[in-house]
């Protein structure tokens, strides 16, 4: 392949686009890979298309290598299967819906589990047909609340989505492992550094799911990482090691104290130490039990079309904040809002002075942080204005209805996996997701096939996504400098950028070299633009970021050209006669 800059459909920009917040967006637009066409929608220019295709090919090759078979679903789909699965409602505003001329509802698919399940149902009917994995590379549509950062979060984007079908759990686990390994090969080949992060806690229905997060400070996902054992988990999935359970009788009875004007933890701790509550002057926020009132909104179900919001109290040590994202992950699919205190306050919960002692009597559900185990004693509200109680003991003075991972996760927290390391917080962008889905969709569509013994078996599914267009930006985030992009060889739009730094002789020699490199199978871009200064050509070459450049310039007469490495910046004069072999078969 030989591209000539003199005719290439490309215009590089000197200025950053006004809406660009992150380096990949800025550089991909400036270097002429993409152009914004719509909110969250980008046009691929020739160079961008080449990178996208190269990434797609790596993904496709590794999916095929694990036995995946490529299909292609429509993106425009009737609503009905998504209504049957419940996802029409669950996605809500996040999907684009539309009606056809007869008024029949449709959607632009955000992902294709329903169609994959139905296709397998319509094609296969016997245990002999399984296992099977199908995949596609296709445009997806999501009405993201906040499309941002160019290709990183679009409303229209390219995804590789794969679906595995097995007849038993062991088969599903194998399919999952195969995909996980294929994903590692894909991201390694693309030159990404990434972490494989536990996405959902086992407590949440037991489904196994991991995300591949490419490391980047501009990522929207925060994850906790333990350098000691390699544990990595989404903040939503981090579990808290619980202390040992003791004997609740080991504590003196609870005592109530006047603590006027102490609605905050800090004011309470200060007063507790001044007044030596419980005979102590070493109170810290961690000794207090903070009780946060939230409202839980459950989604409508078949049996309950308008569920009533539920009041829930969450108890966490006072040195912690309640992280609503973690609460929602724990209570999924319910959503959660901070309780809106009525102005007239005609409630038995006394704002700022809530203790768990009365919650059971009031019939209010109480969930606690895993650190609040039986026998732990707390300084907490006494359910009267201006009063608190000490030695309020879990398992004696109150019995929680369960635990919840609600407290915020912080750098330095103990690692729940090895119990010896400390967690550090890192940022990443999700480039892949592997998920043991189970029978959620085969149940929804009642899909059964004949088993070996003649009885019906219900297949179990895995689903596996890769953000192909997002990967272009994720690789760019990890491979650039202040002068431009610096693609890894596996994804670069071209292998060699030949720059004409002279007149006709140099141009002819450069095109000749480019032709010979192309004959050897290399992708070559020749900057043969007349009337463009060498300085501008160099600047553009660094912006475009092809791994190696050859400058055909002054030393052509002696038979030399200059070879430049985009990443290391190394330069060397090389005999033109050697260049083709040197670039085509790097030692």
Residue numbers 97-116 binding ligand ATP by CB under 6 A: 111
Which two structure tokens, joined as six digits, stand for 461? 């599914």
- Report the residue number whose CB is nearest to Mg ion: 433
The item of Mg ion, ligand ATP, none sharing an interface with residue 426, based on CB under 5 to 8 Å by kind, is none
SS3 292: strand
Residue ranges in 20-39 that form contacts with ligand ATP under rule CB under 6 A: none
CB closer to Mg ion, 195 vs 294: 195
Nearer to Mg ion, 371 or 433 (CB): 433
* The one segment of 171-179, 346-354, 425-433, 482-490 that binds ligand ATP by CB under 6 A: 425-433
Nearer CB in complex with ligand ATP: 24/291: 24
Minimum distance of ligand ATP from residue 473's CB (angstroms): 8
Cβ atoms 40, 144 nearer than 8 A? yes
* Min CB(160)–ligand ATP separation in Å: 8
Contacted entry of Mg ion, ligand ATP, none for residue 62, CB cut-off 5 to 8 Å set by kind: none
Which one of 131, 416, 459, 467 is in contact with ligand ATP (CB under 6 A)? 467
Indicate the SS3 state at residue 205: coil
The 419-438 contact track toward Mg ion, x by CB under 5 A, reads --------------x-----
Q: Which residue from 144, 310, 319, 481 is in contact with ligand ATP, where contact means CB under 6 A?
A: 144
CB nearer to ligand ATP: pick between 159 and 415: 159
Nearer to ligand ATP, 123 or 207 (CB): 207
Q: Which partner, Mg ion, ligand ATP, none, binds residue 142 by CB below 5 to 8 Å per kind?
A: ligand ATP
Give the end-to-end CA distance of the chain in Å, rounded to a whole number. Answer: 22
Q: Is 157 in the site for ligand ATP (CB under 6 A)?
A: yes
Asked if residue 433 binds ligand ATP (CB under 6 A), the reply is yes
Instruction: For the CB of residue 445, give the shortest distance to ligand ATP in the complex, in Å.
Output: 20
Give burial (CB, 10 Å; 0-12/13-18/19+) of 59. Answer: buried
Given candidates 5, 27, 66, 159, which one binds ligand ATP under the rule CB under 6 A?
159
Shortest separation between residue 246's beta carbon and Mg ion, angstroms: 40
Alpha carbon distance 163, 112 (integer Å)? 9
User: Nearest CA to 163 among 194, 200, 126, 133?
Assistant: 133
- Residue 46 parent element (H or E): helix 46-65
Backbone angles phi, psi at 151, to 5 degrees: -70, -15
Smaller CB distance to ligand ATP: residue 212 or 353? Answer: 212
Nearer to ligand ATP, 31 or 109 (CB): 109
Report the alpha-carbon distance of residue 289 to residue 281 in Å, rounded: 17
- Closest among 116, 114, 96, 115 to 106, alpha carbons compared: 96
Q: What is the C-alpha to C-alpha distance for residues 318 and 554, in angstroms, rounded to an integer? A: 72
Which range touches ligand ATP (CB under 6 A), out of 18-26, 152-160, 239-247, 254-262? 152-160
Q: In the block, which residue shows the tokens 């196994």?
A: 208
The answer to whether the peptide bond before residue 134 is cis (omega within 30 degrees of 0) is: no
d(Cα 130, Cα 389) in Å, to the nearest integer? 62
Q: Select from 30-38, 414-422, 466-474, 484-492 the region that touches ligand ATP (CB under 6 A).
A: 466-474
186 three-state secondary structure = helix
Four-point Cα dihedral 157, 159, 163, 169, nearest 10: -100
80 contacts: CB under 8 Å, gap ≥ 6: none
430 binds ligand ATP (CB under 6 A): yes
Binding partner at 545 among ligand ATP, Mg ion, none, C-beta below 5 to 8 Å by kind: none
* Residue 432 binding partner per list Mg ion, ligand ATP, none, with a CB distance cut-off of 5 to 8 Å that depends on partner kind: ligand ATP
85 binding ligand ATP? (CB under 6 A):
no
Residue 172 CB neighbour total at 10 angstroms: 23
Shortest distance, position 94 Cβ to ligand ATP, whole Å: 9
Bridge partners (DSSP) listed for residue 210: 198, 434
Name the residue nearer to ligand ATP (CB basis): 465 or 545.
465
Compute the C-alpha angle 485/491/494, nearest 5°: 75
Q: Cα separations (Å) of 81 from 85, 119, 441?
A: 6, 12, 10
Phi, psi at 469, each rounded to 5° = -70, -35
Instruction: Please list every residue from 213 through 232 that binds ligand ATP, using CB under 6 A.
Output: none
φ, ψ of residue 269 to 5 degrees: the values are -65, -40
Nearer to ligand ATP, 153 or 426 (CB): 153
For residue 519, the minimal CB distance to ligand ATP (Å) is 37
Cβ neighbors of 373 (< 8 A, separation 6 or more) are 242, 243, 244, 245, 246, 394, 395
Q: Are 162 and 464 in contact (CB under 8 A)?
A: yes
**CB of 433 or CB of 480, closer to Mg ion:** 433
Q: Can you tell me which residue has the tokens 């309640």?
A: 322
Residue 356 interface partner, choices Mg ion, ligand ATP, none, CB cut-off 5-8 Å depending on type: none
Q: Does 87 bind ligand ATP (CB under 6 A)?
A: no
Q: How many CB atoms lie within 10 A of CB 353?
A: 21
Give which of Mg ion, ligand ATP, none residue 111 binds (C-beta under 5 to 8 Å, depending on kind): ligand ATP
Residue 428 touching ligand ATP (CB under 6 A): no
Q: Which residues bind ligand ATP (CB under 6 A)?
A: 111, 142, 144, 153-154, 157, 159, 430-433, 465, 467, 469-470
Q: Which residues bind Mg ion (CB under 5 A)?
A: 433
């Amino acid at each position: 392949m030989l591209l000539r800059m003199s005719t290439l459909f490309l215009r590089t920009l000197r200025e950053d686009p006004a809406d660009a917040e992150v380096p990949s967006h800025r550089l991909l637009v400036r270097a002429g890979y993409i152009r914004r066409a719509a909110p969250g929608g980008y046009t691929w220019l020739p160079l961008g298309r080449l990178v996208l295709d190269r990434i797609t090919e790596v993904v496709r090759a590794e999916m095929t290598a694990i036995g995946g078979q490529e299909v292609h679903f429509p993106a425009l789909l009737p609503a009905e299967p998504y209504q049957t699965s419940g996802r029409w409602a669950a996605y809500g505003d996040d999907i684009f819906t539309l009606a056809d001329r007869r008024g029949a509802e449709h959607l632009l698919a955000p992902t294709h589990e329903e169609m994959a399940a139905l296709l397998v149902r319509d094609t296969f009917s016997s245990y002999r047909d399984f296992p099977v994995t199908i995949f596609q590379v296709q445009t997806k549509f999501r009405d993201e609340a906040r499309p941002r950062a160019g290709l990183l979060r679009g409303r229209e984007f390219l995804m590789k989505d794969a679906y595995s079908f097995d007849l038993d759990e062991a088969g599903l686990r194998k399919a999952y492992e195969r995909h996980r390994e294929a994903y590692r090969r894909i991201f390694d080949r693309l030159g990404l550094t990434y972490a494989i992060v536990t996405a959902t806690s086992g407590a949440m229905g037991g489904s196994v799911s991991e995300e591949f997060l490419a490391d980047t400070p501009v990522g929207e996902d925060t994850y906790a990482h333990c350098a000691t054992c390699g544990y990595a988990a989404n903040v939503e999935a981090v579990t808290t090691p619980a202390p040992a359970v003791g004997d609740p009788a080991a504590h003196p009875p609870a005592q109530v104290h006047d603590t006027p004007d102490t609605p905050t933890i800090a004011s309470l701790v200060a007063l507790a130490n001044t007044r030596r509550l419980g005979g102590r002057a070493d109170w810290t926020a961690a000794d207090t039990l903070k009780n946060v009132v939230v409202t839980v909104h459950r989604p409508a179900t078949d049996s309950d079309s308008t569920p009533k919001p539920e009041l829930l109290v969450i108890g966490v040590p006072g040195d912690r904040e309640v992280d609503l994202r973690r609460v929602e992950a724990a209570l999924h699919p319910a959503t959660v809002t901070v309780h809106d205190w009525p102005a007239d306050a005609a409630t038995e919960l006394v704002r700022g002075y809530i203790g768990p002692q009365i919650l059971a009597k009031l019939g209010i559900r109480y969930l606690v942080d895993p650190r609040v185990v039986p026998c732990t004693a707390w300084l907490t509200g006494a359910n009267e204005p201006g009063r608190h109680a000490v030695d309020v003991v879990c398992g004696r003075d109150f019995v929680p209805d369960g635990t919840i991972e609600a407290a915020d996760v912080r750098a330095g927290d103990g690692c729940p996996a090895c119990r010896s390391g400390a967690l550090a917080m890192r940022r990443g962008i999700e480039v892949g997701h592997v998920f043991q889905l189970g029978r959620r969709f085969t149940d929804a569509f009642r899909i059964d096939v004949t088993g070996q013994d003649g009885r019906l078996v219900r297949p179990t599914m895995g689903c596996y996504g890769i953000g192909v267009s997002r990967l272009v930006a994720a690789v760019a985030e990890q491979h650039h400098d202040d002068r431009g992009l610096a693609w890894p060889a596996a994804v670069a739009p071209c292998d060699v950028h030949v720059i004409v730094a002279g007149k006709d002789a140099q141009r002819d020699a450069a095109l000749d070299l480019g032709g010979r490199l192309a004959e050897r199978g290399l992708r070559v871009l020749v900057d043969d633009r007349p009337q463009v200064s060498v300085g501008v050509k160099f600047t553009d070459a660094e912006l475009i970021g092809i791994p190696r450049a050859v400058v055909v310039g002054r030393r052509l007469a002696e038979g030399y050209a200059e070879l430049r490495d985009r990443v290391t910046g190394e330069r060397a004069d090389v005999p033109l006669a050697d260049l083709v072999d040197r670039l085509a078969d790097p030692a």
